[in-house]
Structure 1
Amino acid sequence: KNSTLWKYFAISDMLTNEIYIGNMVQGKYGSVSYKTKQNKPRPQSEWYRVEGTHEAIIDRPLWNRVQSMIAERAKPFDCGTVGLFARKARCANCGYTMRSTKNRGRHYLQCSNRHVAKDACIGSFISVEKLERMVIDELNRLAAAYLDKDELERSIEFCENLQGQKKQLVDTLSAYEKRIAEYTKGLRDLYMDKVKGLLNDSDFSALSKEFSSEKSRLERVLLDGQRQLAELEDRIAVGDNRKALVERYINLEHLTREIVEILIDHITVGKRISGTKDVPIEIHWNF
C-alpha cells in the first residue's frame, strides 16, 4: 500500500492495455457533439484496433487467461486470498454463482439464491474440502482413461471438437453483428423520422433509448464472444496440449487457485441426494 514504485491503477492498466500484446488501440474516447469539446468513453466495438504494430512482451495465451480472470470478478477473502472455487461453482438448479461461507474453521459453498424467495431455488450446498476431493478424483479418472487412448485418436478427436466449437461460435458472432447493424440502422431511421416530423420527441426518446440499450448489450456479448474466439484460435494454433496438462496434474494431493484457473471453466453443484452424503456435480474443463 505504501509503495511508491507500483500503484494499483498502474498494475490494473497493464493487465488490460493491449499495447503489451503488440496491438495499437485508439478511439477509446469520442466527442459527444461537434459543438462541444466534452468526451465520453466509447464502447469497445467502436475502438480502432490494429494488431501486430510492434513486438509483444506478453504472450497471447497468458493475456487471455488474465482477461478471463478479470471477467470473473472473484472477490478475495479478508486475508487477501481468493477462494479455491470462487466464481467457478454454480448452482445446478438455478445457475446462480455459489457463495462462500465459513463455519467452525471449514469453508463451504452454498447457493444464496434460495434465501431470496421460497420458490427461487431448492438450494445447493457442499464443503470446499469435499468438492476439492471430487475434482481431484475425477481428474485422476480422466487421466487414466485419456492417457490410454491412441495418440492419433486423441489428435483427431481434439481437432474435430475445437473446429466444431469455432464454427458454431463464428456463426453466433455473425448473427450478433447482423443484429447490431440492424439496431444501428434503426437508430438512424428513427432520427430521420424525427427530423421529418413523423415522430415526436417523446416517442423518439423512448424508442432510441430502447434501441441504444439493446445495441450496447449486444456489443458487450459480441466482445465476450470475440475473446472466446481468440482463445479457441490460440488453442488450435498451439495444438493438443491436453496430454501435457493431464500428465502435469495427475496424482495431486491438493488443488491451488492457479490449477483451478488453468483446468476448470466452471462446476455445477446439485442438491445433496436425500438419504445419502452424495452431492452431484458436473465439471466443465478447459481442455
Structure 2
Amino acid sequence: MKAAIYCRLSEEDRNKQFETDDSNSIQNQKAMLLQYAMEQRWEVYNLYSDDDYAGSDRRRPEFNRLLEDAKAHRFDIVLCKTQSRFTRELELVEKYIHGLFPIWGIRFVSIVDNADTANKGNKKSRQINGLVNEWYLEDMSENIRSVLTNRRQNGFHIGAFALYGYKKDPDQKGHLIIDEEAAAVVREVFTLFSQGYGKTAIARMLNDRGIPNPTEYKRLHGLRYQQPKRKNSTLWKYFAISDMLTNEIYIGNMVQGKYGSVSYKTKQNKPRPQSEWYRVERTHEAIIDRPLWNRVQSMIAERAKPFDCGTVGLFARKAICANCGYTMRSSKNRGRHYLQCSNRHVAKDACIGSFISVEKLERMVIDELNRLAAAYLDKDELERSIEFCENLQGQKRQLLETLSAYEKKIAEYTKGLRDLYMDKVKGLLNDSDFSALSKEFSSEKSRLERVLLDGQRQLAELEDRIAVGDNRKALAERYVNLEHLTREIVEILIDHITVGKRIPGTRDVPIEIHWNF
C-alpha cells in the first residue's frame, strides 16, 4: 500500500504560548506520520507540505498537487495528523473524503482523531469533526473581523503595506510615517495636476524619467508585494494617478474598508459603498497641504463628466487589452465611442495598442450570445423555469423589511432630538454640547429620510411590475433574442473581454469573451 503524507502549518500554529504546544510544527507532523506509516508497513509515495496556509485556503499548492495525484491514483492512502490539517471546510470533507476519494479508490486516515474511511462506523464522527472545524472557521473569522473593525474605527492602519508615500512606523504599530523618497513623487503629481497637466500626461512624464510605479517601488525596496503577472506592470498608469489625487490619506486622514471580503471561505473582495468606509481624521502627518488638496479636488470636480448610461459605459472595466493585460479606456470621436488600450500613451513602446469601436464590440458580443443561446438553450423550457413573479414578491418582502428598519431608526433619532432638547431645558446639557449633538442627530435623520424616500420609490416601481403580471417570456427573450446590450446585461453575463489588435489588411479585431456562466 502506498501512502501520501500531507502536513500543513498555519500562522496560528506559530503563536503558541507553551513549548508543549509545538506538536503542530511541520517537523513533528512529518516525524509522527512517517513513524505511523512505517508501523503500518505502508510505502510512503510522497510527502506534501504546505507551510503558512490556513485550513480554509483552497489555493494551497501542495494540497492541490496531492488532489491531482490522488485523481491519477498514484497512491492508495492519504495520511494526515488530523482531519483539520487536510481541510477545515465541511464542504471539502464531503466532496473529497466522503465523495471523490472512495470513487478514486483512495483511503483517508488521520491518526489523532481516528478518522479512517476504511472504517464505515466512524463516518458520523468524521462529519462531526468537519462541522466543528467549520464552526471554528466561522468563529475565528468573526473574531478577526471584530478586532479589525475596532482598529479601523480608532484610526489604526491595518493593511499589509503602507500607501505609496508612507511607510509603517517601526515604533508604533498601526501608525504611518512619511517615506520622503516616494512622498516627493506624490507632491509632484499633485503640483503638476494643479498646473493643468492631465493624468495621462503626468503618467507619461514619470515613465519617461524612469520613476518606478508604486508596485515596482515596493518590490525594489524589498517588500513582499505581489507583482501583477502582465506586461509593462512597472509603468505608471492613468488610474494610479487618478486614485492618488483623490486619496485622503495624503492629507492625514485614515480611510479604510473600501473593499470587504465576500465570505471567510474565499479571498475575493468586493467594493463597499462610501457610507461604510472607516474615516478618521488627523491620524498621521500629511504629505499634501490643504490649499493644494482643495485646489486639486476643485479641478477634478470641474473636469468630471456625467456618466453616460448608454454606450460610453457599456463595457467599462470589462474590456482588457490582449497584449498588455490592462483595462481599456473609452474615448469619443465625431460622435462615436471607442475603446483603446490605456497603455498607448503612457510610455514609448508600452503596448501595440488594442482599439475597437464600442458599436462593433457590442455587435460581436450579441452575435456570440445569440449563437450560444441557439445552440444550448431550450427557449420553452427556459420560459417555464423562470419564476418571475415569485422572485419579485421576494424582493418586495425584503424591501419592506428594510424600509421598516429605516422607519424605526428615524423614530429613534426623532425621540433622541426631543430628549436632547429636554436635557438642555433641564440644564443637563450646555448650549455647545446641545448644538453639536443635535446637528449630528439631525444630519443622520435627514440622510435616513432620503434613503427611505428612495426605497419607497423602488417599492412603487416594484409593485407596478408585479401588477403587470408574469412576463417570463419577455424576460427570456431579453437574453436570447438581443439587438442591443445594456450595462445590466453586461454585468450579469460577462466577466471580461480581451481585445487584440486589428488584423492587418482587414477590419477584423480578435476578441475573446469570458462569460460569467
Query: TM-score, structure 1 length as denominator?
Result: 0.45
Instruction: Give deviations 1:251-272, integer Å, cap 9, x for gaps.
Output: 5555699999999999999999
C-alpha deviation, 1:148, in angstroms: 2.7
Q: Judge conservation of contact 1:272–1:278 (CA < 8 Å) in 2.
A: yes
C-alpha deviation, 1:160, in angstroms: 2.5
CA RMSD, 1 decimal: 19.2
C-alpha deviation, 1:61, in angstroms: 48
Deviates more, 1:120-129 or 1:265-274: 265-274
Q: Judge conservation of contact 2:341–2:353 (CA < 8 Å) in 1.
A: yes
Q: Judge conservation of contact 2:383–2:473 (CA < 8 Å) in 1.
A: no
CA distance in 1, matches of 2:384, 2:245: 35
What is the aligned partner in structure 2 of residue 105 from structure 1? 335
C-alpha deviation, 1:107, in angstroms: 1.8
CA distance in 1, matches of 2:357, 2:371: 21
Instruction: Give deviations 1:200-222, integer Å, cap 9, x for gaps.
Output: 11111111111111111111111
CA distance in 1, matches of 2:515, 2:262: 44
CA distance in 2, matches of 1:282, 1:204: 61
Structure 1 residues 59, 30: CA separation in 2 closer, same or farther (over 3 Å shift)? Answer: same
Structure 1 residues 268, 18: CA separation in 2 closer, same or farther (over 3 Å shift)? Answer: same
Structure 1 residues 179, 253: CA separation in 2 closer, same or farther (over 3 Å shift)? Answer: closer
Instruction: Give deviations 1:23-73, integer Å, cap 9, x for gaps.
Output: 999999999999999999999999999999999999999999999999999
CA distance in 2, matches of 1:38, 1:194: 49
Matched residue SS, 2:422: helix
C-alpha deviation, 1:15, in angstroms: 37
CA distance in 1, matches of 2:298, 2:289: 15
CA distance in 1, matches of 2:370, 2:363: 11
Q: Judge conservation of contact 1:88–1:265 (CA < 8 Å) in 2.
A: yes
Structure 1 residues 164, 239: CA separation in 2 closer, same or farther (over 3 Å shift)? Answer: same
Q: Judge conservation of contact 2:318–2:495 (CA < 8 Å) in 1.
A: yes
C-alpha deviation, 1:133, in angstroms: 3.3
Q: How many residue pairs get matched?
A: 287
CA distance in 1, matches of 2:236, 2:285: 24
Deviates more, 1:64-73 or 1:230-239: 64-73
Instruction: Give deviations 1:97-154, integer Å, cap 9, x for gaps.
Output: 9995325875247999999999999999985336523663576368659973557973
C-alpha deviation, 1:184, in angstroms: 0.9
Instruction: Give deviations 1:149-186, integer Å, cap 9, x for gaps.
Output: 55797376213321221111111111111111111111
Deviates more, 1:48-57 or 1:188-197: 48-57
C-alpha deviation, 1:86, in angstroms: 10
Instruction: Give deviations 1:229-281, integer Å, cap 9, x for gaps.
Output: 11111111111224235547865555699999999999999999999999999
What is the aligned partner in structure 2 of residue 178 from structure 1? 408
Deviates more, 1:161-170 or 1:97-106: 97-106
Q: Judge conservation of contact 1:32–1:38 (CA < 8 Å) in 2.
A: yes
Is 1:162 the counterpart of 2:392? The answer is yes
Taking the TM superposition and a 5 Å limit, the aligned residue runs for 1:1-287 are 101-102=331-332, 106-108=336-338, 128-129=358-359, 132-133=362-363, 136-137=366-367, 140=370, 144=374, 148-150=378-380, 154=384, 157-244=387-474, 246-247=476-477, 251-252=481-482
Deviates more, 1:196-205 or 1:31-40: 31-40
CA distance in 1, matches of 2:258, 2:513: 38
Q: Judge conservation of contact 2:261–2:270 (CA < 8 Å) in 1.
A: yes
Structure 1 residues 15, 202: CA separation in 2 closer, same or farther (over 3 Å shift)? Answer: closer
Q: Judge conservation of contact 1:20–1:58 (CA < 8 Å) in 2.
A: yes
Structure 1 residues 221, 264: CA separation in 2 closer, same or farther (over 3 Å shift)? Answer: farther
Matched residue SS, 1:37: coil
Q: Judge conservation of contact 2:343–2:351 (CA < 8 Å) in 1.
A: yes
Give the gaps of 5 or more residues in structure 1: none
Q: Judge conservation of contact 2:344–2:351 (CA < 8 Å) in 1.
A: yes
Q: Judge conservation of contact 1:82–1:257 (CA < 8 Å) in 2.
A: no
Structure 1 residues 222, 146: CA separation in 2 closer, same or farther (over 3 Å shift)? Answer: farther
Deviates more, 1:117-126 or 1:252-261: 117-126
Deviates more, 1:41-50 or 1:91-100: 41-50
Q: Per chain length, whose mean CA-contact separation is higher, i.e. which structure has more relative contact order (CA < 8 Å, sep 6+)?
A: 1
